[in-house]
Structure 1
């Protein structure tokens, strides 16, 4: 058992060695032992390739504005491990982590001795979240972000009142499948019988999979571009403004502070969810809560401006779709500036198209690596690039320092790639800018 926060977190992280073990049997076993905390929560389940965290934060802010207490389960953390489990946006306390780890540890030991095998890191953290919101700190609603896929993801033991699938992209293809339809099949695994499903999936083959699954489950489907739509979108210096038409009404002049046309889609999913909560689940969320919540929403590492002078942006674009969205936004907002990019990624990602897109946008690109089990080497990333002004650096901190000190007023520095890297880089970057 654990006496300190450090001991508990070290044990949790030690389970990373087990990697990904798809399936729900271990989670079901632990929930049975814990008295089924997952059945004691009112929850919303959010899956998809990109945009899960942003959609969740729009929903959280709106719900909080209405006076709801909101639990969240997200991954990965950005600055502090405790962020994974949060109450009204505030990470749980260190002592809560110790208590929850001590609740799960004996189950992990017992499970290890069975044919199911021991739980993974993600399964342990998921079980901790279920225990916290089910037994320790009940809340009005919990927002659960899917970790990987959907059908066999550890979070898929919950019984949500709504489900959301943000979009489909070719990520984690070694696990989820190599086509949009195959990946959509895994994501659609979170659709539950009779439970409304909201989605912004665009590809026709993927949409068909979602539609068929919703029909099979008799789940009402609300699809962006069909049952609800965005219109009148334009970008501002501080974010985006758009209107939205739903089956129930038209919303005019919605304003968000996270930049990017893709963020209007994430916000529209949250707004559609709020309308369903009001209409079918007796929530009392007023118009002012929606407008205020959307505008206040912030999620770290999503086209986030770290400094205006010099101009530095970080963005957790870690797959092909994310890179495309980033490049589009850079072209739209900073076409008059030269673009310097620092990039790194995990080695299990498909790099070719990601780096090709970055090459096209960058006047200079520097590849780095970082201390993480699956991090790609700077040299391997460098070898893929075709940019004429490409570099690699063995020390990412030195690379950041060099770029900041030489950055001119007609240039923008963009640091992008793995969210695990950005979680390390952001605190250092904030210090470096102020030196």
Structure 2
């Protein structure tokens, strides 16, 4: 038995040695001995390369405005480990996590003795989420974010009322495949028999696969681009504004507090989800609830302002698509300003191409490292950079000096970006 949260976290972190082992057999075994808690949830399952967390944040906020209690399971965490399991945006406590780990540990040990082998860290955490939402909380809805892919992801044992695929891009190619088609097949693996799927995927070769998978499963297919028109789009100093026509309603001048052109799309996806929930009588959501929910939604680490002088943002642009969206945001919000970037990335990311893209808008780039198993060295990142104004330092504390050095530039924007784990570490230092 774990007496403290620290002991419990040390145990689950020790499961990292088992790595990523795609497959649902271990999850099914664990959940069966726990009474199949995943079958007792009213869940919305969200997959995609980018935009999952923001879309979940928008949907949760809308449902909260409608008076609903909403559980979320997201990863990785930005502020604390606890936030992986949250209710109405509030992470569960150390004591609740410890109790969950104590409850499932005997079964994890028993599982290791079978031919299925040891459960991974993410499988244990996912099991905790299903158990908590089904047994220890009174949620009206649970929003589940896939960890990696979809088809073989630990969350894919759930039986949702709605599936959402936000976007398709190149990430985790060693596991999911190296082409858009291969990656899409993995993401589309969350589509279940008779369960509608909502998507903002735009590539024709990807949408064709999602549509075909939906047809095979007799699942309603709803595309943001087929059913909606975004117009009157503007970037605001602290968010975005857009109007949206759906098949059911017209929404004028919707505002978000999340910055980035892509957040207009994520918010629109959440609006479509809210319309569907209302149409199917799962919830009653009027326009004021929807507008307020979109405006109030927050998602730490996504173009989040953390300092006013110098004006400093953190953004978890951890893959190529994320960096492309970041470049769009910089162009719409800070065109003509001096952009000073601090960057770190993991070894298994396409950081060469990511750095090339950052170079297109950065006035200077500082590379650093942080404490994480798969992190790339600051020197190797530095060696990939082709712009003149660049520095590197392996110590994450160098971020402080980097920010301090930019204070003399009155036109400066400091942008700290790259790995989500890096963003989490920096945020804990600065906020």
State the TM bucket, normalised to the shorter chain: over 0.9
- Structure 2 counterpart SS, 1:326: helix
- Distance in 1 separating the partners of 2:404 and 2:265: 33
Question: 1:398 deviation in Å?
Answer: 2.2
* Alpha carbons 1:37, 1:135 under 8 Å: kept: yes
Q: For the Cα contact (< 8 Å) 1:41–1:138, is it kept in 2?
A: no
What aligned pairs does 1:305-316 form with structure 2 within 5 A after superposition? Answer: 305-316=305-316
Per-residue deviation, 1:274:
0.5
| In 2, Cα distance between equivalents of 1:26 and 1:274 | 33
Return 5+ residue gaps in structure 2 as ranges: none
Tell me the residue number matched to 2:16: 16
CA RMSD, 1 decimal:
1.0
Deviates more, 1:389-398 or 1:310-319: 389-398
Following superposition, which runs of at least 4 residues in structure 1 exceed 4 angstroms of deviation? none
Greater CA drift, 394-403 or 66-75:
394-403
Q: Which residue of 2 aligns with 1:361?
A: 361
Question: Does structure 2 conserve the Cα–Cα contact (< 8 Å) formed by 1:222 and 1:228?
Answer: no
2:126 maps to 1:132: no
Query: Equivalent residues in 2 for 1:121-200 (5 A)?
Result: 121-200=121-200
- Following the alignment from structure 1 to structure 2, what is the Cα–Cα distance between the partners of residues 280 and 180? 32
2:414 corresponding residue in structure 1: 413
Give the 3 Å change call, closer, same or farther, for CA 282–191 of structure 1 in structure 2.
Answer: same
- What is the TM-score normalised by the length of structure 2? 0.98
1:229 CA displacement: 3.0
Q: Distance in 2 between matches of 1:211 and 1:399?
A: 45
Once the two structures are overlaid, the 10-residue window that deviates more, 238-247 or 369-378, is: 238-247
**How does 1:15-414 map onto structure 2 within 5 Å?**
15-407=15-407, 408-414=409-415
SS of the residue corresponding to residue 235 of structure 1 reads strand
Alignment-derived partner of residue 430 in structure 2:
429
> Contact conserved, 1:59 with 1:270, CA < 8 A, in 2?
yes
Q: For residue 138 of structure 1, report the CA deviation from its aligned partner.
A: 3.0
1:287 CA drift (Å) = 1.5
Using the alignment, how far apart are the partners of 2:393 and 2:430 within structure 1?
Answer: 16
Paired residues, number: 430
Structure 2: how far apart are the matches of 1:235 and 1:335?
Answer: 12
Where 2:227 maps in the other structure, the secondary structure is coil
Partner of 1:409, secondary structure, is: coil
In structure 1, what is the Cα distance between the partners aligned to 2:281 and 2:204? 31
Residue 44 (structure 1) shift: 0.2
> Gaps spanning 5+ residues in structure 1: where?
431-435
Q: Can you list the C-alpha shifts for 1:115-138, whole angstroms capped at 9, x where unaligned? A: 110110000000000000111213
Instruction: Give, in whole Å, the separation in 1 of the partners of 2:131 and 2:55.
Output: 24
1:209-261, Cα deviation, whole Å (9 max, x unpaired): 11110111111111121022322211111211111222212221111111111
TM-score, length-scaled by structure 1: 0.97
Residue 101 of structure 1 aligns to a residue whose secondary structure is: helix
Q: Deviations over 1:281-318 (max 9, x none)?
A: 33111221101010001100111111222111111000
Residues 174-224 of structure 1 show CA distances to partners (whole Å, capped at 9, x for unaligned) of: 000001111000000001111111101011111111111011111111112
CA shift for structure 1 position 34 = 0.3
What is the CA-CA distance between 1:150 and the residue it aligns to?
Answer: 0.1
Q: Distance in 1 between matches of 2:82 and 2:233?
A: 36
Give, in angstroms, the shift of residue 79 of structure 1: 1.1
Question: Given that residues 368 and 398 in structure 2 are in contact (C-alpha distance below 8 angstroms), is that contact kept between their aligned partners in structure 1?
Answer: no
Name which of structure 1's ranges 26-35 and 395-404 shifts more when overlaid on structure 2. Answer: 395-404
Q: Assess, with a 3 A threshold, how the Cα gap between structure 1 residues 28 and 281 changes in structure 2: closer, same or farther.
A: farther
CA distance in 1, matches of 2:406, 2:267: 37
State how far apart, in whole Å, the 2-side matches of 1:355 and 1:87 are: 37
After superposition, give the CA deviation of every residue in 1:335-375 in whole Å (9 maximum; x if it has no partner): 22111100001111012210101112111101111100011
Does the 8 Å CA contact 1:165/1:200 hold for their aligned counterparts?
Answer: yes
Deviation at 1:429, TM superposition (A): 2.1
1:344 and 1:421 in contact (8 A); partners too: yes
